[in-house]
Amino acid sequence: MPPRFETARFHIESGPVSLFTRIRHILREPMRLKPHGTHATQSLQQRGAPLEELTNFDPESWELVSAEVRTDTGKWVKSTWRIRADARDWWVVVGLGNALVTVIDVDPWRRGMGQGIVTGGPLYAHVDSVNADLMRGA
């Protein structure tokens, strides 16, 4: 089944700043993440992930890496955060409603700057504008 909507990925190092400011505003408090769906539960189990550390979200000690937004609305739907736990580096994908979408065991040098990252153009400007407007109303 195809996704309900198209998304695009942005990286913290290339912005837009308003998007990452908004994510940090939304996810500003520590919280318990809830594995969302079979994929999240399986990824935790199959990768031998330290469940306690990876579900205990703390924006002060976790590093924001990237964000995915809906291309139609420009609004955030999930973000990837880096945490060091159990002597390994992990990317934890956090979705709306405190959902843990997936976890990925990554090499410490990985930065998440793949080819699919949006760094400019009309979509970038749209996402920047939408999130700047949302932050003015926050």
- The 10s digit of each residue's pLDDT in 121-136 is 999 999 999 999 999 9
Enter the DSSP assignment of 98: G
Max mean pLDDT range (3-7, 45-49, 130-134) = 130-134
Q: What is the pTM of this model?
A: 0.91
Indicate the range of 43-52, 107-116, 123-132 predicted with least confidence: 107-116
Q: What's the average model confidence in pLDDT over 39-67?
A: 91
Name the average pLDDT for the chain: 92
Distances (CA, A) of 81 to 24, 63, 111: 11, 5, 11
Max Cα distance, the chain (Å): 42
